[in-house]
Chains A and B, each alone.
Chain A
Amino acid sequence: METPVKVVVDLSKPKGERESIIPLTAEEIAEREAMAIEAQAEQDAREAEQQAKAEAKASAISKLTALGLTEEEALALVGA
């Protein structure tokens, strides 16, 4: 597998001499993998939180309708 590269513009150099394309370091490759893992974990946590909220809302609607409210009234109460 080819080593991924990055384009680096060093602004301390004169125009026309600034740009170079160099391989990512092993550290940068490891960082990229770690960032992806962390981002996925964040995404999973957010989705779990949204799922829990949706389930709690559905449960509340079910309990309210069991008490005699119409579904419309229950939806209005839980803000759905």
Chain B
Amino acid sequence: MAYELIETIEVGSGGVAALEFTSIPNDGVHLLLLLSSRADNGEQAFYTTINNSGGYVYPQRYQGFNGSSVQSASRDDNGFFFNFHNHSGTTTNTFSNTSLLISNYASSSFKSISTESSTENNSTSSIYNLIHSALYESTSAVSSIKMTQQLSGNFVQYTTASLYKIY
């Protein structure tokens, strides 16, 4: 198994509301996205959309720890799946880690998605460590991935997203 870095986005001054990779080459087996991120508003969620296809419902299951209790839940979101990351209420200059794996992304099967994410905060609240699974119920190859910060916020400067393909 070999990893090849396709591209890295580093957010510049002023931030951006969304990060998007388009025309993803379909010559790999799996896709891995590593994200170091923080939002400039108080919203902890960002949304990921594949192929800009709002017509798909993403069934999701997740387990996690929120700083005080263990949580386990399922949800179905129309057009996106969610993750949590650092926001303006968390310790200054700290960023979240998120890894997002899409297996067999170029196949004609539905695409399994798994993510792990952890927020950083010097507190017993606003801490999320999540293991999250989702399904993209499309037979099309994954050719674009977009992450959008919740509501009117931005991903702050120095947020980075690296996309790898795995052979």
User: Chain A interface mostly helix, strand, loop or mixed?
Assistant: mixed
Contact of B20 with A6 in the complex, beta carbons under 8 Å = yes
Per-residue CB proximity of B50-65 to A under 8 Å, as 1/0? 0000100000000000
With both beta carbons as reference points, the residue of chain A lying nearest to B7 in the complex is identified as A9
Q: Please measure, in the bound complex, the distance between the C-alpha atom of A77 and the C-alpha atom of B54, giving whole angstroms.
A: 45
Contact of A28 with B22 in the complex, beta carbons under 8 Å = no
Contact of A39 with B7 in the complex, beta carbons under 8 Å = no
Within 8 A of B (CB), among A13-41: 13, 15, 18-19, 21, 24, 28, 31-33, 35-36, 38-39
Q: Please measure, in the bound complex, the distance between the C-alpha atom of A13 and the C-alpha atom of B66, giving whole angstroms.
A: 41
Min CB distance A26 to B, Å, is 13
B11 in complex: contacting residue of A4, A7, A11, A36, CB < 8 Å: A7
Q: Which residues in B have their C-beta under 8 angstroms from that of A32?
A: 17, 47, 148, 150-151
Q: Which residues in A have their C-beta under 8 angstroms from that of B20?
A: 6-9
Q: Please measure, in the bound complex, the distance between the C-alpha atom of A33 and the C-alpha atom of B148, giving whole angstroms.
A: 11
Q: Which residues in B have their C-beta under 8 angstroms from that of A42?
A: 75, 77
Q: Please measure, in the bound complex, the distance between the C-alpha atom of A12 and the C-alpha atom of B23, giving whole angstroms.
A: 6
**B2 interface residue, CB < 8 Å from A?**
no
Per-residue CB proximity of B73-89 to A under 8 Å, as 1/0? 10101111010000000
With both beta carbons as reference points, the residue of chain B lying nearest to A33 in the complex is identified as B151
Min CB distance B47 to A, Å, is 5
Contact of B152 with A11 in the complex, beta carbons under 8 Å = no
**B29 interface residue, CB < 8 Å from A?**
no
**A46 interface residue, CB < 8 Å from B?**
yes
